[in-house]
Amino acid sequence: MNYTVEEKEAFMREALREAEIALEHDEIPIGCVIVKDGEIIGRGHNAREELQRAVMHAEIMAIENANVSEESWRLLDCTLFVTIEPCVMCSGAIGLARIPNVVYGAKNQKFGAVGSLYDILTDERLNHRVEVETGILEDDCAAIMQDFFRNRRKK
Ligand SMILES: [Zn+2]
């Protein structure tokens, strides 16, 4: 993953744009983009409410999208940018898609499986290991979630 900090922030801003789409559907605002050779090849947002699909997390939608555009299940040489630390399911999916690099914005202390509860992407017992970077636009990625939950409590 040879992107500059500015490039990483620009891709994370695209992931935040996806999170805004989830917000428009009144659902947990998490967004994701998958990048190959500096181009976005997959985009996704949490769409559990919109599509009424339990597994339609941002990362899953982005992986599906990238699989279609690449015409391949393998997403080698790709970097996945997601606003919030992936859950157990999405960490598994990242491994299955052979994505080698993951960048996430803010931690998820309750559901995170890339450092918080578990450390699936860097577990030495698994043969697919991923290079992980955290903290890119962390405050923006956390703020959109905090606003969402604060507003929901008010309702
Ligand atoms: Zn997930």
pLDDT in tens, 56-77: 999 999 999 999 999 999 999 9
pTM of the model: 0.96
Q: Is 19 helix (H, G, I), strand (E, B) or coil?
A: helix
Q: Which of 73, 14, 82, 3 is nearest to 36 (CA)?
A: 3
Pair 16, 141: CB distance under 8 Å: yes
d(CA 75, CA 65): 11
| Distance from the alpha carbon of residue 58 to the mean position of ligand 1, in angstroms | 7
Please tell me the predicted confidence (pLDDT) of residue 30: 98
Q: Which residue has the tokens 């992931």?
A: 15
d(CA 98, CA 129): 9
| Distance from the alpha carbon of residue 19 to the mean position of ligand 1, in angstroms | 13
| Distance from the alpha carbon of residue 113 to the mean position of ligand 1, in angstroms | 9
In the DSSP assignment, the letter for residue 25 is T
Distance of CA 153 to the CA centre of its chain: 25
Please tell me the predicted confidence (pLDDT) of residue 1: 66
Which residues lie across from 134 on neighbouring strands? 104
- Residues catalogued as catalytic: 59
